[in-house]
Amino acid sequence: MAITVKFFANYRDLMGQSEIAIDTAPELSVADIYTQVLGSKARPELRRVTMFAVNEQYVPADTLVHDGDRVAFIPPVSGG
């Protein structure tokens, strides 16, 4: 299953890139993808305040991802 994971702000700095394409097993949630992608770079204090988006829409952490989805980790927003 091919998905795109996008990184912004804190996550872009942490990962050193703005997006990656990954091949994952089926039946994974966005929270599972997060754990898999962040790996040893995971920071609990950042994870606690992170929201998830799939295809440009906020979703709960247990939302399952599908082939072709665009997943984004959304750190606390600070526009305006």
Strand 51-54 versus strand 70-74 pairing type: antiparallel
Least distance to another protein from the beta carbon of 18, Å?
Answer: 9
Nearer to another protein, 12 or 32 (CB): 12
Least distance to another protein from the beta carbon of 43, Å?
Answer: 10
Nearer to another protein, 35 or 55 (CB): 55
Q: Which token pair is 65?
A: 């991802």
How far, in Å, are 12, 31, 44, 67, 80 from residue 47 at the CA level? 14, 10, 5, 24, 23
State the CB neighbour count (10 A cutoff) for residue 31. 15
Nearer to another protein, 25 or 77 (CB): 77
The contact set with another protein (CB under 8 A) reads 6, 8-10, 12-13, 45-46, 48-49, 53, 56-58, 72, 74-80
